Amino acid sequence: MIPNLITAARIVLTPFVVVAILRGRWKEALYLGIAAGVTDALDGFAARLLHVSSRVGAYLDPVADKLLLSAIFVALGASGAIPWWMVALVFGRDLFILMMAGYGYAFTPVRDFPPTVAGKISTILQIIAAMVVLNERGGGRIPAGPWLWFMIVGTVWSGIDYGWRGWRKLSSVRRAESYGGNVYSGGERS
C-alpha cells in the first residue's frame, strides 16, 4: 500500500538524519528531518485520500515516528547539541508510559491507552525543539533555548498527565473489582 511505503520512507530517512547530525552537517540534517516529517503528513493524507487502512500501517506509523524522534534526540545528545539529561527526559517519559501500559496489560483488564492532548502537544514540542536546534546549529536565527524549555515543560506535563490518567483508570478498575462489578467488555476477562 502507498501509505505504508511513505511511512517506510520515514524509517529509511532516519539513519541519514542521524549521520548528518553526528557529522555536524546541521542544514542537511534539518532538511532530511523536514522531509521525514513531511512523510508523516503524507502517509495519513494518502490513506484518507485512497480510503485505505491496514493493521500494519496502524502499528508502523507510530513506530516510525518514535524511531525518528528518538534517534534524533540521541544524535543531538551524542553530538553535544543538547545535554544528555534532556535526552533522558524524553526517553524517561516514554519509558514511564510503556511501564504503565505494560502494568495495565499484565495485571488488569485495561487495554485502551489512548493518546492524550498533552501527549500530542509534547510530541509536537519535541519535534519543534529538535528542528530549531538543527536550524540554530546550521546558522539559523531562531534561538533554540526557549523551544527547549517549552519541550521540557511539555514533556514533564505530558508524563504527569499520563500518570494521573493511568492511575485514575487503574484505580477505578480496582474499585469495581473489589465491589464485584463487571468491568470487562463482554463480561469476560480477556
31 and 8 co-located in one domain: yes
9 and 37 co-located in one domain: yes
**Structural domains in the chain (count):** 2
Rounded to 5°, the CA angle 33-123-108 comes to: 135
Count the alpha carbons within 13 Å of 158 in the hemisphere toward its beta carbon.
27
64 and 88 co-located in one domain: no
User: Residue 189 has what pLDDT?
Assistant: 39
62 φ/ψ sector (left φ>0, alpha ψ -120 to 50, else beta): alpha
Higher pLDDT, 51 or 135: 135
User: Residue 185 has what pLDDT?
Assistant: 45
* H-state helical runs in the chain: 2-22, 26-50, 55-79, 84-107, 117-137, 144-178
Neighbours of 4 (CB within 10 A): 18
pLDDT tens figures, 82-130: 999 999 999 999 999 888 888 888 888 777 777 889 998 999 999 999 9
Q: Quote the domain boundaries for residue 172.
A: 82-190
Q: Which of 79, 102, 129 is the last residue of a domain?
A: 79
User: Residue 182 has what pLDDT?
Assistant: 52
Q: Which of 79, 111, 131 is the last residue of a domain?
A: 79
pLDDT tens figures, 39-76: 888 887 887 788 777 777 777 888 888 999 999 999 99
55 and 113 co-located in one domain: no
- The enclosing domain of 38 has a CATH number of 1.20.120.1760
Cα–Cα distance for residue pair 184/177, rounded to 1 Å: 10
Indicate whether 187 pLDDT > 50: no
User: Residue 75 has what pLDDT?
Assistant: 98
User: Residue 181 has what pLDDT?
Assistant: 54
Q: Which of 44, 79, 114 is the last residue of a domain?
A: 79
Q: pTM of the full predicted structure?
A: 0.83
| Cα 124–chain centre separation | 9
74 and 136 co-located in one domain: no
103 and 17 co-located in one domain: no
